């Protein structure tokens, strides 16, 4: 069955029913976006210079006015441009070409969102080296302090699958914190290919920018499918998902972007596999589906992976059901027979490649599975209700991050308008049932929502948690899947209402009455959001009146267009849907886009780490003595030294070297403290002890005569270690590296 080509519904601001309403709304959105950008600039300026200037600090100047004028002009102009049918059609038609050009430009100029500039002050040099806009965040240490140094260290191993640099001993880098390597596993990690092709700095740029661009594109295509080709609603949902606070705060680690890229890609691939008629197309889509399945499997972060398996699995069920309904009972089996061969072949190839990857890393996988942390964790759910903080509150996190508990990353969420999406979806489902045709998409989205919400809110018995695999999922990690479902349900409900209104011209209520009711609903939601934020995030509302103003205005701007779509009379809606309603939705989504862009800094290059004078001194020693083993005071510094090829014991241990630690813990008394993923702090003392200040932290005090048992040659320290010399062990100052001293460990 041949698909009809998708066509853009034209919309011109000049010909719309109420252009002045959209103009006024765009002015408000542009002003709100200007405040977000100005606050980001003010706080970045404070962090770099120590001067509190700008609107955020109630300090006004000519430069402030000019800057805000520029922000306002740019945002308002873009809102006006994108609502034009000609501009919108051009963007949609050439979206892949435009995305490719944008990616090439960003990679060429080494642009990323990394917080790598924080290495400057940690290594005794200027801070924010290369930061063009925004602030690098210490909260995202998993990115700038762990993942990025790991990736950079690979260039000193020839991008081998086994690194001698990390942990100062053979370490598999293809599974835990997967790194760029010439291995089979990297076939399923396309965003690491940039490190292999372009080197460290541009590889980092490709890793950040390619994931962001592909995430938005994939989400848009998936939402086109879910919304029955409502392009503006699809773009609206793509922005709400691609620039959501939870995506941006967790962007570089745990496969957060990849989960949605590969998961939504699987749904799209299944849709096209079923509709492909030529063998070449069937084979191509089958190969893509199989490859994406392998990509998703190798993300290896069950806490987020498993809930989203439910989500994308049921979306796949919707695709299958709609396809079966479309082709009819007589044509299903011929299509299945045609598709079966290429699909089975491709799945077998992908399974073989995955099997090889797992076999090559089996020892590391087994070690991780038998660790005290994270290997032995098991959960039964419950406790979700306290985590249901109004998701719009997390949009303010870039300005008051310290107000969020337990930390800003854990408190982040989708800007999903919860619970509006779920309420409207239920209402839409009831309406569709009354019309005699239950909406397939809403049913297939509500089922995983009910399962995940039940597990999170009430908990499952141990046997059920184990059977459903949700026992591997902490309750706090459910917010990623539930928030995504909220957005998709909202988008599907909007699309359904617009589809229904096109075929109905009944004037059921007075437009004036509907407007009054709509304004009342929006006001009630704004008031509820403020009240909820005051109770759940009290520090945020105490810190500044700006927080109150931003939260109230942001809530109104995001909620009002959604309510308007559902509240307008069918007669009026039929005349202007989908163009004007879609334009209002897209304009409101611009606030989410800008707030998301304010989370991560706009960073150029990686000179804060790659051109550090401190590390250049270490690198010189490494070149002279490449097989030497290093110790540093903490994993922070250990992560720095591995980027110049120093084989460092105290880099982050993604899984333990039990043999090494047993050399100084002969009776195994401290096994549970080091048999885990750990950041290490180490210092000489009179006795040797191991302590876990936190689940992923290991603090070691070590007797000087025990140090040689670790096999270390050099110790990079901020302190003078020679005071700990003994008759058998001496720490001889060997070289100076910035504020550090390199001590040579000499034992007799």
DSSP helix, strand, coil percent of the chain (3-state; round to 5): 65, 10, 30
Instruction: Tell me the CA distances in angstroms from 450 to 54, 445, 466, 675, one per residue in order.
Output: 46, 9, 18, 37
Distance between CA atoms of 706 and 253, rounded to whole angstroms?
36
Distance CA 668, CA 670 (A): 5
Residue at token pair 């073989």: 352
Residues 6 or more apart whose Cβ sits within 8 Å of residue 155: 195, 199, 200
> Which of 30-44, 471-485, 532-546 is the least confident region?
532-546
pLDDT tens digits along 23-52: 899 999 999 999 999 999 999 999 888 889
Phi then psi for 525, rounded to 5 degrees?
A: -65, -40
What are the φ/ψ torsions at residue 192 (nearest 5 degrees)? -90, -10
Helix (H) / strand (E) element for 740: namely strand 740-747
Q: Which structural domain range is residue 731 located in? A: 612-747
The CA distances from residue 446 to 223, 382, 390, 489, in Å, are 16, 19, 20, 8
Quick check: is 381 in a domain? no
Confidence at residue 34, expressed as pLDDT on a 0 to 100 scale: 97
Q: How far apart are CA 213 and CA 107, in angstroms?
A: 12
| Closest by Cα among 214, 37, 41, 219 to 594 | 37
The answer as to whether 711 is a domain residue is yes
C-alpha span between 420 and 558 (Å, rounded): 11
Burial class from Cβ neighbours inside 10 Å (0-12, 13-18, 19+) for residue 39 reads: buried
Residue whose entry in the numeric block shows the structure tokens 């990857």:
357
Tell me the C-alpha distance between 311 and 485, whole Å.
8
Residue 654 placed within a domain: yes
- Residue appearing with tokens 């096999």: 711
Residue 130 φ/ψ region, left for φ over 0, alpha for ψ in the -120 to 50 degree band, beta for the rest: left
Q: What is the pTM of this model?
A: 0.93
* Residue 578 clears pLDDT 60, i.e. is over it: no
Look at residue 690 and tell me if it is in a domain: yes
- The verdict on residue 351 lying in a domain is no
Would residue 133 count as lying in a domain? Answer: no
Nearest to 195 by CA among 130, 129, 147: 147
Q: Buried b / exposed e across 329-352, counting CB within 10 Å, b at 16+?
A: eeeeeebeeebeebbeebbeebee
Provide the pLDDT for residue 501.
Answer: 62
**pLDDT by residue (tens digit) across 634-689?**
998 999 999 999 999 999 999 999 999 999 999 999 999 999 999 999 999 999 99
For 57, 180, 640, the CA distances from 123, given in Å and listed in that order, are: 30, 25, 9
**Cβ–Cβ under 8 Å, residues 470 and 455:** yes
Query: What is the distance between the alpha carbons of residues 346 and 279, in angstroms, rounded to a whole number?
Result: 13
Per-residue pLDDT of 384-432, as tens digits, reads 988 876 788 999 999 999 888 888 998 899 998 888 899 999 989 998 8
Q: What is the pLDDT of residues 426-473, one digit of tens each?
A: 989 998 888 888 899 999 999 999 999 999 999 999 999 999 999 999
Kindly report whether the peptide bond that precedes residue 419 is cis, defined as omega within 30 degrees of 0. yes
* Residue range 484-494, pLDDT digits in tens: 999 999 999 99
- Whether residue 190 contacts residue 208, with contact meaning beta carbons closer than 8 Å, is answered with no
Number of compact structural domains in the chain: 1
Task: Provide the pLDDT for residue 385.
Answer: 85
Q: How high is the mean pLDDT of the chain?
A: 90
In a domain, 718, yes or no: yes
pLDDT, mean of residues 220-239: 94
**Calpha distance 73→79 (Å, rounded):** 10
Question: Which residue, 239, 258, 76, is CA-closest to 597?
Answer: 239
Residue 249 lies in a domain: no
DSSP H or E run through 743: strand 740-747
Q: Which of 419, 470, 474, 447 lies closest to 695 in space, CA to CA?
A: 474
* Residue 745: strand pairing partners: 731
**Cis amide prior to 677 (ω within 30 degrees):** no
CA distances, 477 to each of 187, 377, 458, 473, 601 (Å): 27, 14, 15, 7, 25
Q: What angle do CA 30, 34, 39 make, to 5 degrees?
A: 155
Beta carbons within 8 Å of 616's beta carbon, 6+ residues apart: 644
């Amino acid at each position: 069955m041949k698909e009809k080509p998708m066509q853009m519904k034209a919309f011109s601001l000049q010909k719309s029913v109420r252009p002045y309403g959209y103009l006024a709304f765009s002015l408000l959105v542009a002003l709100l976006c200007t405040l977000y950008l100005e606050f980001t600039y003010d706080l970045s300026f404070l962090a770099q210079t120590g001067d509190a200037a700008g609107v955020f600090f109630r300090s006004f100047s000519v430069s402030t006015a000019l800057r805000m004028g520029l922000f306002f002009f740019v945002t308002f102009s873009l809102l006006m441009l994108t609502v034009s049918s000609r501009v919108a059609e051009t963007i949609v038609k050439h979206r892949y070409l435009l995305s490719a050009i944008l990616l090439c430009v960003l990679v060429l100029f080494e642009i990323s969102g990394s917080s790598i500039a924080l290495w400057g002050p940690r290594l005794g040099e200027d801070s924010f080296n290369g930061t063009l806009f925004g602030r690098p965040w210490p909260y995202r240490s998993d990115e700038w302090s762990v993942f990025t140094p790991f990736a950079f260290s690979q260039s000193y191993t020839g991008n081998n699958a086994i690194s001698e640099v990390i942990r100062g001993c053979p370490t598999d880098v293809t599974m835990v914190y997967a790194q760029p390597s010439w291995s089979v596993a990297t076939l399923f990690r396309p965003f690491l290919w940039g490190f292999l092709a372009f080197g460290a700095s541009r590889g980092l740029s490709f890793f950040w920018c390619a994931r962001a661009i592909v995430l938005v594109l994939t989400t848009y295509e998936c939402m086109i499918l879910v919304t029955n080709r409502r392009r503006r609603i699809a773009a609206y949902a793509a922005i709400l998902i691609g620039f959501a606070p939870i995506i941006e705060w967790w962007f570089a680690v745990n496969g957060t972007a990849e989960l949605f890229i590969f998961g939504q890609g699987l749904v799209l691939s299944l849709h096209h596999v079923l509709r492909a008629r030529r063998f070449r197309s069937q084979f191509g889509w089958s190969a893509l589906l199989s490859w994406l399945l392998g990509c998703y499997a190798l993300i290896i972060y069950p806490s987020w992976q498993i809930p989203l398996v439910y989500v994308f699995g049921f979306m796949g069920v919707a695709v299958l059901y709609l396809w079966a309904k479309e082709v009819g009972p007589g044509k299903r089996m011929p299509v299945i027979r045609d598709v079966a061969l290429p699909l089975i072949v491709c799945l077998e190839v992908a399974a073989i490649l995955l099997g090889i990857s797992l076999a090559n890393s089996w020892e590391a996988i087994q070690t991780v599975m038998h660790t005290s942390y994270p290997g032995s964790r098991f959960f039964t759910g419950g406790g979700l209700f306290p985590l249901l903080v109004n998701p719009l509150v997390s949009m303010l996190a870039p300005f008051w991050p310290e107000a969020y508990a337990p930390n800003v990353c854990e408190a982040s969420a989708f800007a999903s308008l919860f619970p509006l999406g779920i309420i409207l979806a239920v209402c839409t489902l009831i309406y569709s049932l009354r019309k005699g045709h239950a909406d397939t998409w809403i049913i297939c989205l509500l089922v995983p929502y009910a399962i995940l919400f039940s597990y999170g809110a009430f908990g499952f018995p141990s046997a059920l948690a184990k059977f459903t695999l949700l026992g591997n999922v902490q309750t706090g990690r459910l917010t990623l899947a539930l928030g995504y479902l909220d957005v998709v349900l909202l988008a599907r409900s909007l699309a359904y209402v617009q589809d229904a209104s096109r075929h109905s011209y009944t004037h059921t209520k007075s437009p004036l009455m509907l407007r009054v009711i709509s304004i009342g609903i929006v006001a009630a939601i704004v008031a509820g959001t403020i009240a909820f934020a005051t109770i759940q995030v009290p520090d945020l509302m105490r810190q500044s009146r700006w927080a109150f103003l931003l939260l109230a205005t942001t809530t109104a701007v995001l909620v009002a267009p959604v309510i308007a779509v559902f509240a307008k009379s069918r007669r009026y809606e039929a005349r202007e849907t989908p163009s004007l309603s879609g334009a209002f939705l897209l304009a409101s989504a611009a606030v989410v886009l800008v707030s998301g862009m304010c989370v991560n800094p706009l960073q150029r290059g990686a000179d804060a780490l790659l051109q550090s004078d401190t590390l250049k001194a270490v690198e010189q020693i490494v070149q002279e003595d490449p097989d030497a083993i290093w110790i540093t005071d903490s994993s922070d510094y250990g992560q720095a030294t591995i980027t110049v090829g120093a084989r460092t014991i105290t880099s982050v241990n993604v899984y333990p070297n039990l043999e090494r630690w047993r050399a100084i813990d002969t009776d195994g008394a401290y096994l549970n403290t080091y048999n885990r993923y750990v950041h290490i702090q180490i210092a000489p003392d009179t006795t040797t002890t191991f302590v876990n200040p936190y689940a992923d932290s290991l603090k070691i005090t070590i007797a000087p005569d025990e140090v040689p048992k670790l096999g270390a040659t050099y110790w990079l320290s901020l302190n003078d270690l020679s005071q700990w010399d003994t008759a058998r062990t001496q720490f001889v100052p060997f070289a100076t590296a910035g504020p550090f001293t390199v001590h040579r460990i000499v034992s007799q």
